[in-house]
Chains A and B, each alone.
Chain A
Amino acid sequence: METKQSIPLSAVKAGQTVTLTNIDAGRGLNSRLASMGLLPNVCITVVRNTDFGPIMIKVKGSKMMLGKGMAQKIMVL
């Protein structure tokens, strides 16, 4: 079986749907994201991702924006 390397969410193009593998952040942030539904194995659809400004995603039916720095810490497949 081919194993894919996980990439940061910030590198995902708009329109693609990916699966969260892990979040590379401190505990506080991790828990906050978890309470908003950002957990391993959750599907994330990237709605908007441009060179500047935050990234817009859809998770569990709600739309969210994440700072670029944040999006770099969220690893997806």
Chain B
Amino acid sequence: MKKITVALAGNPNSGKTSIFNMLTGANQHVGNYPGVTVEKKEGFCKYKDYEMTVLDLPGTYSLAAYSDEELVARNFIINQQPDIVVDIIDASNIERNLYLATQLIEMDVPLILVFNMSDIAERKGLLFDTKQLSKLFEAEIVSTIGNKAKGKKELLDAITETVQKTKTKRTHRIKYGQEIEKELSKIETLITDKELQLAQKYGSRWLTVKLLERDSDITGKINDTQILETVTDSINHLRNIFGDEPEIIIADRRYGFISGACQETIKTTVESRHSKSDMIDAVVTNRILGLPIFLLLMYVVFQLTFTIGAYPMGWLEHFFEWAAKTITGFWPVGTESWLQSLLVDGVIGGVGGVIVFLPNILLLFLAIAFLEDTGYMARAAFVMDHIMHKIGLHGKSFIPMLIGFGCSIPAIMGTRILENKRNRFTTIMIMPLMSCGARLTIYALIIPAFFPERWRGPMLWFIYLIGIILAIICAKILRLTVFKGQTIPFVMELPPYRVPTLKSLCIHMWQRGWMYLKKAGTIILVISIILWFAMSYPKSNEQSLANLTYEQAQQTKLEYSVIGRIGRAIEPVIKPLGFDWKIGTALIGATAAKEVFVSQLAIVYAVGSTDKKSHTLREKLQENYTPLVGFCIMLFCLISTPCIATIAITKHETNSWAWALFQFFGLTVLAYIITLIVYQAGSLLAAQ
């Protein structure tokens, strides 16, 4: 068995993922490249005598160093030196797609060109002289239909054959014209003379071209001042001659090479003016119809996620209830130990509480994968862009934000559809302000306790509205400060519509689901156990509980525990918000999961099970607090402290604890300030 590494490169929307899925099946591993939030997808495949590690590089249009994706793809090719690079090309859009190939040729890597979606190209009436093209690009060419798994064997054969060939220097190269070539050779001589090590690693020709293109990453690697001066002179010289930047002339020449190659080798047999894609676009991006169609689709996604998801969610809840009961059953009444409590209240309560959302997550990502694979997502961005632009976000941000009303966790994971980092991070930061489903439990307790029937609906609406308005304001502020920068050089390709395959949808869904499960099994488990400890220890003296009812005993225990003590300790801090230590205790418990607020409050008020007697809890609340305090509780819960699962997922998605903590503390401080103002102003008004 020989081990080889195969790297898949290609433009976004070239069907790269479908080729990756075709080669590796479900045998994949998804992670992040170190230090950046670019997704790293690896898969394995066995063929003949070869064990292949297939790497799906991020989709890029070029290998310049302008985005994380491009840099990651380029550095992988340079540093890891894959045995072969397979460039996936959308055969129905060949010229633009070959641009990346010209750069791979320049890097002088062992290359195979895959003409993917050859069926669509055929329907468009395109005929390729692949033999001739293969000669021009000095690379094997294979035709495939990725989503129908056609061409798999041919591709694998081409890979194994190319790997066996001894590497020969390319004879063709892209010629940039006399003037540029003159400068190139001047610099190249200097490089091989003075920076031999770099020249050997990167290839002197490629290095020289990159320097002329003013590639910041490469320029930073050159120490020799003579080279840098010569490069600057050459750039100025070329700018004078052409009246344009050298990198633009270079790009132009590459396209020139491509169109030269295509002219000889591609024939168009049918002239199709209006494709199906254009007709669909005429409707879904229509000025008047576009928005209603988008909203309708979002409504369907939302319904699918939370209505259909409710059934399996119920089953999971039953399962965990059953598991809790079974485990409790191992200990006869009266012999309950700490271990039982840890397992039932800590592990099952904490992790189970997170896993019950798995069906929602799976359904949601199925829907997102569907919208993305069909090509609609890019249109949604087109339709929403005008509105989202006003708050400094991208049209696509709207989709995860909408999901945030259900649960912040899938929503934050869903921000992966945003390519721009600043946009993505802003969206992640404001996500907890989209009032999630768990917080609805709190409103459902508080609103009926303090507000008359006719005010209940509007009150709930009002709370959600506050969240949205705050999210808009925060997004705006973040974009002007921390995530400052142009709203994004806004160019996006609108890929032709395609019918997605079930397999690719399932793989996509499973990858997200698995990521979520892993989180639940690791960090969330740890934090749940810590919270359980804080809630159960130190234990109060058995004698002090002797004459109390069960509820009263629970109350005393909680008061005595770390969380109860923290609740008491923070009372002076939260007093100006109208909160007492009981609310404080519940708020701290709510960091585990927002709905815990209700059960904790029930324990402090010693009313026992919330389900049966929550009206009693409401009565207690009415006796102890004013409607103003009730409103402030909702306000504080809405804005403050995202739950631990949210923090964990923010950490994961931003790849940094700093952002997760910034979100945590930022929102808590914001909640404090706003609630303080509302309570103090409200009290003043009430006093008059």
Contacts and interface: CB of A to CB of B under 8 A. Distances in A.
B365 interface: no
A58 to B, nearest CB: 9
Interface in A62-77: 62-67, 69-70
Contact of B494 (A37, A53, A63): A63
Nearest to B66: A28
Interface in B349-403: 378, 381-383, 385-386, 389
A64 B493 contact: yes
Contacts of A61: 92-93, 95-96
Contacts of B382: 53-54, 56, 65
Interface in B232-253: 244-245, 247-248, 251-252
Interface residues of A, number: 35
Interface string A9-44: 000000000000010010111111111111111000
B277 interface: yes
Interface of A is mostly: mixed
Contacts of B383: 53
B64 interface: yes
Find the residue from A29, A47, A62 having the highest chain B CB count within 10 A: A62
Contact of B96 (A25, A37, A40, A48): A37
A32 B66 contact: yes
B251 A35 contact: yes
A17 B331 CA distance: 79
Interface in B483-524: 487-496
B125 to A, nearest CB: 12
Interface in B247-261: 247-248, 251-252, 255
A75 to B, nearest CB: 13
Contacts of A28: 66, 489
A62 B96 contact: yes
A33 B490 contact: no
Interface residues of B, number: 40
A50 interface: yes
A32 B67 CA distance: 9
A63 B277 CA distance: 10
A61 to B, nearest CB: 5
Nearest to B126: A61
Contacts of B64: 31-32, 35
Contact of A27 (B214, B285, B378, B494): B214
Contact of A67 (B61, B252, B385, B493): B385
Contacts of B494: 56, 62-65
A74 to B, nearest CB: 10
B245 A27 contact: yes
28 contacts: A22-B244, A30-B245, A31-B66, A33-B489, A33-B491, A35-B61, A35-B62, A36-B493, A37-B95, A39-B248, A50-B287, A53-B385, A56-B281, A56-B494, A60-B96, A62-B495, A63-B277, A64-B491, A64-B492, A64-B493, A65-B378, A65-B385, A65-B491, A65-B492, A66-B490, A67-B491, A69-B487, A70-B489
